Each structure stands twice: as C-alpha cells, then as structure tokens.
Amino acid sequence: MIKPIIVGNWKLNGNKIFIRNFFQLLNQFLNPYHKKCTTIITPPILYIPLIQKILFSDKKNFFLGSQNVDIHTFGPFTGEVSPCMLTDIGIKHVIIGHSERRFNHKESNTLIAKKFHILKENKLIPILCIGETKEEKINKKTKEICKKQIDIIFDICGAYAFDNSIIAYEPIWAIGSNHSAKPKEAQYISYFIRNYIKSKITHKIKNFFIQYGGSVTDKNAQELILQNDIDGFLVGGASLKIKEFTKIIEIANM
Ligand code: PGA
C-alpha cells in the first residue's frame, strides 16, 4: 500500500501571526499520524525560515516545499529563486506547472519542462501540475492535454524523468471552484496518466505518485483517496484552515 502524500499549497496567503497559530496546532496534531502519511506545506517562500524555527524537529514525514523555482542557478534574474537556494534552506519538494503560473505568468510547457529538468539535476522532487481547462474538458481533450504536458517532460528530461517525482492531476475548472472532479472521473484520468507514463518507459518506475487537486475538502477527501490511482492530494484553499487540513490528513491516514 502506497503512503499518501498530502500537499498544502498556501499560494499568496499567510502572515507571521497566522503561521504561529497554524503551526502550533499542526505540531500537536502531526505526532500520532506522522508514520502513515507524508505532509508537505508550501508557504510563501520568505516564511520558510520562520516555520523551520517553530516546527518540532521530530517531524520525519513533514516537509516544507516551494511553490516555484527558476531555471537558472544564479545571476541577474530579479525576483527569482534558484534550485540551489532551495536546497540550501532544506527544501526538497517544488510545485511547478501550476495553472496559476501557466496563465498568470504565461509559463509554457517548455519552460515548465526546463524547471522539471533543473529540479531533477539538483535532486529535488518536482510536483508537476497538469490538467485541462473547462473548454478542453467539454471538447473531450483531457487526455490529449495531459499527454502533451507529459511528453515534453520526457523529451527534455529523458526516460527516468518521473522516477522520484509527483504529478498532480488538477483539472483547472475544479481549482478554487467548490466543485471537485467526481472521484471516478479523477480516478479515470489518474489511471490514464499512470499507464501512459508506463507505456513510454521500459524500466520499473520508482517513487512516483499521482495526486488529485481541485477543491479537495474534508468532505470529498475520503471518496477521492479510496480511488486506486490517487496517491494523495494537492490542496489549496482547505490547506489554510487547520481543522479542515488536519481532517484531510487524518482521512489519508485511514
Ligand atoms: P483548491 O486549489 O484546493 O483551492 O481548489 C488547488 C490548487 O490550486 O492546487
């Protein structure tokens, strides 16, 4: 049985007071559960040192991650964060390809694949978001879109790209909408993604996980996690509510 990975993506939210309150409660909560499920929170990057100070040191299955990375190591790239800097402050997991970056920052499949590549070169774990828009769904293009978003990673990073990595299947229409994909629907595409990746390689893939993301809550988490090909969640809004987020972790531990 695979150990679920729950990622809480805080996006552009939080401040010092919020963080102190949130982690005081999370610290207390995580102890009995930390063996069965891996939990990762990706706060705004500048708060990571503060959170590292607040966290108990024995949280073996808890990690802080980054919401972004640049494709350069250092140099004149104002506002960016490099993979070595992430490693330097103890980060292992990095979200890339989130639809908010694809749309708001015009990030292309090629740029995202380059980010994937530099993460792998630096032994970081990519959490690659893929998924279709509402229009693409209506036009029955979901598989085609996912294939395209996966193919470019293979093209740039090679056959072992997805070893030690995470794909978050996030139908864009479900993000922040209060309407998650139906569990069977999310399972169908996650199964497709897993098999598509398997069909492109000849070795046995290692440490590869598929998450579902898009309006995950403590109400729908149970049915979603019971699906065979869903190994965890990428949670947005609900990861900012400590009660709801810990309930989701609890559900993933059952
Ligand atoms: P949501 O966000 O859970 O608020 O829908 C998910 C995401 O953007 O990854």
Q: What is the pLDDT of residues 95-114, one digit of tens each?
A: 999 999 999 999 999 999 99
Q: What is the mean pLDDT of residues 65-88?
A: 97
The binding site comprises: 9-11, 176, 215, 236-237
Which atom from ligand 1 is nearest to the alpha carbon of 129?
A: 9
Most confident range, picked from 26-40, 45-59, 176-190: 176-190
Q: Spelled out in words, what is the top-level CATH class assigned to the domain 5-252? A: alpha beta
What is the pTM assigned to this prediction? Answer: 0.97
Query: pLDDT value at position 32?
Result: 61
Answer whether 213 contacts ligand 1 (Cβ < 6 A).
yes
Which atom from ligand 1 is nearest to the alpha carbon of 168?
A: 9
Taking CA atoms, 24 is separated from 13, 66, 247, 248, 250, in Å, by: 17, 21, 16, 18, 17
Q: What is the pLDDT of residues 118-159, one digit of tens each?
A: 999 999 999 999 999 999 999 999 999 999 999 999 999 999
Query: pLDDT value at position 149?
Result: 98
Domain coordinates in residue numbering, the chain: 5-252
The binding site for substrate comprises: 9-11, 176, 215, 236-237
Strands (E), 55-92: 62-64
Answer whether 175 contacts ligand 1 (Cβ < 6 A).
yes
